[in-house]
Amino acid sequence: MPEEFPNYGCAGGLFPMKSAIKYCQKNEKAALVLVFDQCNYRGYHNDKNESFANFSMDLKVNLLFSDGASAILLIPERMRNHFEGANARVEEILTDFHPSDIIRFDNNRFFLGTEVKEQVPKLVADSVIKPIMAKNGLSLSEIEEWSIHQGGREVLKKFLDDSVLGLTSQQLSRSEQLFDKYGNFSAPSCFFVLDSFMPEKSKNKTGTWGMMVGFGAGLYQAALLYQWV
């Protein structure tokens, strides 16, 4: 039966991906994952007791997130001959949860703490990115394609810091470019970055490694490692 994965915020794309991957492996059938914004809040301010803090946060949230959706088809190995050219093969996916209220929903309102850019990138790097790289024996320089959730330019830039992850400007550039073009899509954002790598048929991508990274309220975070084959 179809599954629904609500309330994962900006990490809401990779958690259903994990379930779909298990489905493909177990049943030898294809799976379709649909991902859309989980963070927008339909703001209305009729309450006479509405605080200015709540009003300003609602305004910030409604301006922060763009509307967007994506769909991705996962196939088992036996169906690979139906698709021409190189395909991105999922090698590993890792998810994690770390209780925190710096990104949260409160009475159906979305709140962002000022500590997000200082705490979240390091947490994501330590809890999912570095472990998945270590397990697969990979260094940062070996991963060419990075599709990182664009939670804002300041959040993205933190992944450049050696104390967080130490990515190069080139590795981060695609996420920055897509953020400048579209803004923050919430859960689909890292899928839009991934999609930008897909049409590059002029390149011989065989052997190229890539990483998708999503993180959001809760705090939930996930990373998916793939290789073009």
Instruction: Identify the band that residue 213 occupies on the pLDDT scale cut at 50, 70 and 90.
Output: very high
Average pLDDT over all residues of the chain:
87
Q: Is the pLDDT of residue 10 over 70?
A: yes
pTM (predicted TM-score): 0.87
The pLDDT value recorded for residue 63 is: 67
Which candidate, 187, 201, 198, 186, places its Cα nearest to that of 226?
198
**In the structure, what pLDDT confidence band is assigned to residue 39 with cuts at 50, 70 and 90?**
low
Check whether 215 has a pLDDT greater than 60.
Answer: yes
CA distance 160 to 155: 10
pLDDT of residue 222: 97
Nearest to 172 by CA among 127, 108, 121: 121
Burial of 204 (0-12, 13-18, 19+ CB in 10 A): exposed
Q: Which domain holds residue 158?
A: 1-229
Say whether pLDDT at 50 is over 90: no
pLDDT value of residue 107: 67
Question: Which phi and psi angles does 93 have, rounded to 5°?
Answer: -135, 135
Which are the contacts of 64, defined by CB distance < 8 A and separation ≥ 6?
A: 112, 183, 184
| 205 pLDDT more than 60 | yes
**Residue bearing the bigger pLDDT, 45 or 226:** 226
Convert the pLDDT of each residue in 81-98 to its tens digit.
998 888 999 999 999 999
Extended beta strands in 83-159, E state: 88-97, 103-106, 109-112, 143-148
Three-state SS for 107? coil
CATH of the domain at 188: 3.40.47.10
The CA-to-CA distance between both ends of the chain, in Å, stands at: 30
Query: How far lies 186's CA from each of 76, 139, 162, in Å?
Result: 28, 28, 26
Q: Could you tell me the pLDDT band of residue 127, with boundaries at 50, 70 and 90?
A: very high
% of the chain with per-residue pLDDT over 90: 58
Contact 109, 40 (CB under 8 A): no
Q: Is the pLDDT of residue 151 over 70?
A: yes
Residue 92: what pLDDT?
A: 96
Supply the pLDDT for residue 118.
Answer: 87
Mean pLDDT of 101-115: 74
Domain tally for the chain?
1
Going by the DSSP 8-state scheme, the letter that residue 121 receives in this structure is H
Q: What is the pLDDT of residue 228?
A: 94
